């Protein structure tokens, strides 16, 4: 028995979807929870962890679980790049709307070591530069004669 596997003429032709763009998941900074979960921005009662993929096993041993429907994303910096995954732990607070309050989102310190990207760049803005001595007078104690 033979079968005709051609599509009938009245069936609409399908076009392939857009190719997967990995560049949209590459950041030059530590992304906020708003960037990683644009629809809900986290759930009340949960805390979130941006974890390097090489530290996933340790995080899971500490009670963190992967957030569903999230992707592995990349953070690039002057020292290199690191792949990251969003994890969560906690319990949903019944009756709380999605937009109630801020969510705690912490980041794996390995990011700074591997990429050179600061987790909290605003804390590093006011670091004083080294003072360069150019000569002149000193107000210090005078040497004994």
Q: What's residue 7's pLDDT?
A: 53
pTM over cut 0.85: no
Contact 110, 30 (CB under 8 A): no
How far apart (Å, rounded) are the C-alpha atoms in residues 64 and 74?
20
| Count of domains observed in the chain | 1
What is the pLDDT of the chain when averaged over all its residues? 77
| 6 located within any domain | no
Interval 24-56: pLDDT, tens: 789 999 998 888 888 777 888 889 999 999 999
Domain that includes residue 43, residue range: 22-92+100-115
| 3 located within any domain | no
Burial of 64 from C-beta contacts in 10 A (0-12 / 13-18 / 19+):
buried
| 52 located within any domain | yes
Q: What's residue 17's pLDDT?
A: 54
User: Which range, 15-29, 32-46, 56-70, 118-132, is most confident?
Assistant: 56-70
Residue 109 has pLDDT above 70, yes or no: yes
How far apart (Å, rounded) are the C-alpha atoms in residues 70 and 36?
8
């Amino acid at each position: 028995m033979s079968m005709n596997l051609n599509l009938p003429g009245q069936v609409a032709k399908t076009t392939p979807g857009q190719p997967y763009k990995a560049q949209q998941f590459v950041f030059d900074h530590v992304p906020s929870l708003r960037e990683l979960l644009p629809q809900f921005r986290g759930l009340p009662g949960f805390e979130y962890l941006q974890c390097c993929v090489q530290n996933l096993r340790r995080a899971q041993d500490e009670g963190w679980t992967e957030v569903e429907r999230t992707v592995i994303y990349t953070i690039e910096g002057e020292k290199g790049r690191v792949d990251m995954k969003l994890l969560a732990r906690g319990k949903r607070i019944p009756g709380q709307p999605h937009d109630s309050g801020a969510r705690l989102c912490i980041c794996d310190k390995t990011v700074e070591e591997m990429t050179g990207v600061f987790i909290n760049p605003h804390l590093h803005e006011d670091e004083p530069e080294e003072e360069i001595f150019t000569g002149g007078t000193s107000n210090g104690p005078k040497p004994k004669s």
